[in-house]
A = this chain, B = another copy of it.
Amino acid sequence: MSDNALEKVPTGINGFDPIALGGLPRGRCTLVTGSTGTGKTLFAMEYLARGLAEYGQPGVFVTFEESPADLRRNASSLGFPVEQWEREGRWTFLDASFESTQETLTAGHYNYAALVSRIGNAVRATNAARVCIDSIGAILARYPNVTSVRTELFRFVTHLKELGVTSVVTAERLREYDGVSHLGVEEFVLDNVVILRNVLQGERRRRTVEIVKFRGAPHRTGEWLFTIDPVEGMVIIPLAFLR
């Protein structure tokens, strides 16, 4: 690997960075995709909170369908003093739900411009190095066809990258092993793709995380088991424990 190798930003998530050979590619946008309840919001939350707690990097959390109040409580149940960080100006919740934005929804069109400029303002005000968008599915659902989704998502990601931050974008998928993303387009536009799975085996559930793609950067491949601990959050099980 030459010196030009892409730098990585450590997530701080228990056991994830070794698999990612350092963390998420710096300055780029990573898609975290999974079906309901696989832990996407938890991943995004921990990425931001551990970035602040362990690496001192401020962050912006853009939420579409969970209220900042709910997210604050979730974070604090994991021991993260999010409210304090908010007061210190190092953490910003950006509530992008329809209700809060009062936005008029013209049929089949969504004006990213306003969202992008709100995110830009929040990033500058917070001096943020990390941004989470949870979830992009709520935006994409407003587009009438896949054609415009691809173009618009590309635009959106380009703007995120221009802000200089390393971002996590969550997106939903309906099945565990059938395709990667809901619309089959997100995965092609984004630079990096991480899949969270929660598969029924017999009557038990088995959680795994997999890095499917890092554009221009190495990473470990395959599925890795993890659990969700009420105190520790995501805990990826080191291979040594498995065999």
List the interface of chain A (C-beta within 8 A of B). Answer: 1-2, 4-6, 35-37, 41, 65-66, 70-71, 73-74, 76-79, 97-99, 105, 108, 135, 137-138, 141-147, 150-151, 154-155, 158, 172, 174-175, 177-180, 182, 184-185, 187-189, 191, 193, 198, 200, 203-205, 208, 212-218, 221-224, 228, 230-231
Chain B residues with CB under 8 A of A138: 150, 154, 188
Given contacts A98-B151, A135-B188, A188-B137, contact A203 B223 (CB under 8 A): yes
Interface SS majority for chain A: loop
**Which of the residues B4, B76, B191 comes within 8 Å of A4, measured between beta carbons?**
B76
Given contacts A36-B213, A37-B214, A204-B223, 12 further A-B contacts (CB under 8 A): A1-B231, A6-B74, A37-B212, A41-B215, A70-B215, A74-B216, A77-B216, A77-B217, A144-B145, A198-B221, A205-B221, A218-B230
